[in-house]
């Protein structure tokens, strides 16, 4: 079963008085349940633009994206709320429209996720008190808070040293519990090699991936 279907996606940016700049040019692919897909390409190839469209953070100029399941997002720059504690950051995605009776359960799940990523003892710290690797672990726990069936990850190891990046990748690929599909933008050949398949963006189109 496919959890994501992308059909003929085009993305253009328009500047008054200039021809439109086409970043994505007819991108089509699907992702199956539980499948891990890497998206590679040079800087400026449109990888992050594509991921933002897949995750609903941006809209295509034309074409369609059908995400049939609940999704989570992991950002390269973490994007944690600086005024919230680690625990509060993880709980945050579950709070929209949440009844008071569910807050305790949400807190329990957030604590369990922090324990799985090795940060149970940092639950009441602020993001500024954490290392980059610790912040990315918090971001991963937050992405998993609402039990997504697909995660969109934008260079999840890009701001980390090699050893810390490998630890984050191991968590992302082998996280216990309910399996999820993954679409991961990456410049890392090592990260891409751990996915089931690789999509390579070139000039706004999917091109054959060359090892």
Domain residue extents for the chain = 2-69+149-207
Per-residue pLDDT band at 173 (split at 50, 70, 90): confident
- Kindly indicate the confidence band of residue 73, based on its pLDDT and cuts at 50, 70 and 90: very high
Binned at pLDDT 50, 70 and 90, residue 131 comes out as: very high
Q: For the chain, list the strands marked E by DSSP.
A: 2-13, 21-32, 36-40, 62-67, 71-74, 150-154, 181-185, 197-202, 205-207
Say what the pLDDT of residue 161 is. Answer: 85
Weakest mean pLDDT among 128-132, 137-141, 168-172, 174-178 = 174-178
CA-angle at 140, arms to 114 and 167, nearest 5°? 85
Pairing mode, if any, of strands 205-207 and 197-202?
Answer: antiparallel
Q: Whole-model pTM?
A: 0.88
Region 57-83 average pLDDT: 93
Q: What is the pLDDT of residue 193?
A: 92
**What pLDDT does 207 receive?**
84
Q: Is the pLDDT of residue 96 over 70?
A: no
Say which CATH architecture domain 2-69+149-207 belongs to: 3-Layer(aba) Sandwich (3.40)
Given a cut of 70, whether residue 100 has pLDDT beyond it is: no
Close Cβ partners of 177 (under 8 Å, ≥ 6 residues apart) = 144
pLDDT digits (tens, 9 = 90+) for 194-205: 999 999 999 899
Length of the chain: 211
Q: Do residues 3 and 69 make contact, with C-beta atoms less than 8 angstroms apart?
A: yes
Report residue 2's pLDDT band, with 50, 70 and 90 as the boundaries. very high
């Amino acid at each position: 079963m496919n959890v994501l279907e992308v059909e003929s996606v085009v993305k253009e940016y328009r500047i008054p008085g200039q021809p439109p700049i086409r970043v994505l040019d007819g991108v089509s692919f699907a992702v199956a349940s539980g499948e891990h897909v890497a998206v590679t390409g040079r800087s400026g190839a449109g990888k992050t633009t594509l991921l933002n469209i897949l995750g609903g953070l941006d809209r295509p100029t034309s074409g369609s994206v059908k995400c049939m399941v609940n999704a989570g997002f992991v950002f390269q720059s973490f994007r944690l709320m600086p005024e919230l504690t680690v625990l509060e950051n993880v709980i945050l995605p579950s709070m929209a429209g949440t009844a008071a009776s569910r807050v305790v359960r949400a807190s329990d799940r957030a604590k369990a996720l922090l324990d799985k990523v090795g940060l149970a003892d940092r639950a009441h710290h602020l993001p500024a008190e954490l290392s980059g690797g610790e912040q990315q672990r918090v971001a991963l726990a937050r992405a998993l808070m609402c039990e997504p069936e697909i995660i969109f990850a934008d260079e999840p190891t890009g701001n980390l040293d090699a050893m810390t990046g490998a630890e984050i990748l191991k968590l992302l690929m082998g996280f216990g519990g309910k399996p999820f599909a993954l679409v991961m933008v990456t410049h890392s050949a090592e990260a891409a090699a751990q996915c089931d398949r690789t999509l390579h963006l070139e000039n706004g189109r999917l091109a054959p991936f060359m090892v």
